[in-house]
Amino acid sequence: MGKPFQGVVYKGRRGEAETLGACGCGTGSCFTLVLFGFIAVCPVEVEEALSRITNTLAMKNEEISNFICALKQSLDNLEVNSNRVQEDLESEFSSLHSVLDEMKENMLTRIKQERASRTYELQSQLSACSKALESSEELLEVANQTLCSSETDGFTQAAKDIKDSVTMAPAFRLSLKVKASDNMSHLIVDFSQEREMLQGLKFLPVPATPEIQVSECQVCDNTVTVVWTLLEPDSKIDHYILEHRRTNHEGPPRIREDYPWMVVEGIREMVHTLTGLRFDTRYMTFRVRACNKAVAGEFSEPVTLETHAFTFKLDAASAHQNLKVEDLSVEWDSSGGKIQDIRKEKNRTSSPMHSPARSALMSPKRAPTARPGRDRFTAESYTVLADTMIDAGQHYWEVRFDKESKAFAVGVALRSLGRFDQLGKSNASWCIHLNNWLQQSLSAKHNNKARTLECPIPNSIGVYINHDEGVLSFYNAKTKQLMHTFKTKFQQPVIPAFMVWNGSFSVVTGLQVPSVVQSSQRKNSGTSSSNASLT
């Protein structure tokens, strides 16, 4: 900003308000320009102000140009879409006319067939009656002539012949009941209902907006069941479209909002269950809309459902040198420690800190307990920790391990677990331990106490922790059979911990607490084994 000045105000060529005057710098060559709300001092500042104005105007021009293109495209789309729906309407009416014409032809054919059949019956009956009447008239004439005859010799015989002829006359064998009715009213069609329906024919309305019923939605066992309703029944709805997306993406809110929706189409009922999910997110957002055969309605208000699951990675920086960590998999590497030892030997100095005597005298208990930077585990503590601490709530994860491993352990540990500490051999860790060295055994360990578990060794173990209530349980991950439960009081946050010697394992995270496990916890809340029972 320039200093206050006295200047002259005049109108420029384009009508902008400009003010010229001395800026007070003492050079006499500077002036102040007020243009489009910008105040600049000196030619350089004037140039910068004009440059900003020019850039703003250019951006505005580009924005207007893009909008004009969008309007033109909308006009073109309107023309195309209107022609399309007009053609569709004509096609539908042509189809309707074809159906009516076909029905008309079928009904006319039925009437003609009925008329021909009845005509044949009545004409046949008429012909038979006409012949019978003609025969009766001839016989009647013969009888009258015989009665009027004066000859007496052959009268008796003639009367007898007439009597026999009358008895056998067709007139006495005919049924005088009409064989076919002349009533055709049963073939009359009442089109009043159809006419009313056709008169009520309208364009398909836009379906109403569904409403997701949060209270009826369920989130359990890595599935989400979404339930929605309509304010009024709509028989024209053909299907529903459900969309969902995660909401824990990193980046600015605008970027997160632009993250694409996952689409599920062709849903026929007002309920849908998403399966096979890995809940590496705390929340998922859902929305749904109804569709008829022509148009889709508006989306429902987005609803966010909690899909909490514990997700972590293995901290390779904490792993023993003999453990090769790749993502969530760990493999024993016997050469890892040797390579490190060779490197240390090359870098060894004559400092007393590195002397064998001093190293031999160092006690694991004197190792730093805070473990700044998460020093690697060493000696026979073939351990690796997760990178996420647990300080509250219920969590669940699973571990698949090689049953041929010489030793394997899974559990949790305090952050203060020493570099030399083995899982289960201090009061800072709890674990299930597989020993496969001399004889195979499975035991629960804590504070250097162990309890042998009388259960089959599974291929994978599920770990459940309720930090608030001090419960740590281990399950057969496949059958969800409870193997052991520690009951304690976690005074500090804990970290998932793993140990393997001459073997391998992999971790599965992003899992919800299975409903079977939750039921088991409620059932066994008063009967689970505790630390005090370890011997």
Measuring CA to CA, how many Å separate 254 from each of 50, 281, 463? 31, 19, 38
Q: What mean pLDDT is predicted for residues 493-500?
A: 97
Q: Token pair of 76, please?
A: 């073109």
**Beta-carbon count within 10 A of 510 CB:** 17
Tens-place pLDDT, residues 43-90: 778 888 888 899 999 999 999 999 999 999 999 999 998 998 899 889
Place of tokens 């040797």: 338
Tens-place pLDDT, residues 170-195: 777 777 888 888 888 888 888 888 88
Q: Which helix (H) or strand (E) holds 413?
A: strand 407-414
Sign, CA torsion 108/111/113/116: negative
Q: Is 57 exposed, middle or buried (0-12, 13-18, 19+ CB in 10 A)?
A: exposed
Most confident range, picked from 92-96, 314-318, 375-379: 314-318
- The gap from C-alpha 183 to its chain's centroid, in whole angstroms, comes to 63
The answer to whether the beta carbons of residues 465 and 433 sit under 8 Å apart is no
Reported as a pLDDT band with limits 50, 70 and 90, residue 203 is confident
Reported as a pLDDT band with limits 50, 70 and 90, residue 226 is very high
Contacts of 164 (CB under 8 A, 6+ apart): none
pTM: 0.55
Mean pLDDT, all residues of the chain: 81
Count how many residues are written for the chain: 535
DSSP for 109-128 reads: HHHHHHHHHHHHHHHHHHHH
Q: Is residue 158 pLDDT above 90, yes or no? A: no
**Beta-carbon count within 10 A of 526 CB:** 6
> 312 vs 529, which has greater pLDDT?
312
Tens-place pLDDT, residues 309-351: 888 999 999 999 999 999 999 999 988 755 444 444 444 443 3
Q: What mean pLDDT is predicted for residues 452-463?
A: 95
Same fold, 211-306 and 383-525: no
Domain covering 383-525 assigned CATH 1.10.357.10 in the classification? no
**Beta-carbon count within 10 A of 253 CB:** 7
Residue 173: DSSP 8-state: T
Distance CA 369, CA 321 (A): 20
Measuring CA to CA, how many Å separate 154 from each of 44, 144, 146, 151, 166? 158, 15, 10, 7, 18
Q: Is residue 250 pLDDT above 90, yes or no? A: no
Contacts of 53 (CB under 8 A, 6+ apart): 35, 36, 38
Distance CA 321, CA 344 (A): 13
Amino acid identity, position 172:
F
Distance CA 278, CA 221 (A): 10
> 364 vs 452, which has greater pLDDT?
452
Place of tokens 């409620």: 522
Least confident of 44-53, 109-118, 162-171: 162-171
Reported as a pLDDT band with limits 50, 70 and 90, residue 472 is very high
Every domain of the chain and the residues it spans? 90-201, 211-306, 383-525
At 212 the three-state DSSP class reads: strand
Distance CA 155, CA 293 (A): 94
Place of tokens 């420690």: 337
Q: Which homologous superfamily is 211-306 in?
A: Immunoglobulins (2.60.40.10)
Helices and strands (DSSP H and E) totals, the chain:
7, 25
User: What are the φ/ψ torsions at residue 73 (nearest 5 degrees)?
Assistant: -65, -40
Q: Are strands 223-229 and 239-246 parallel, antiparallel or unpaired?
A: unpaired
The answer to whether the beta carbons of residues 213 and 231 sit under 8 Å apart is no
Measuring CA to CA, how many Å separate 298 from each of 211, 264, 294, 395? 11, 16, 14, 38
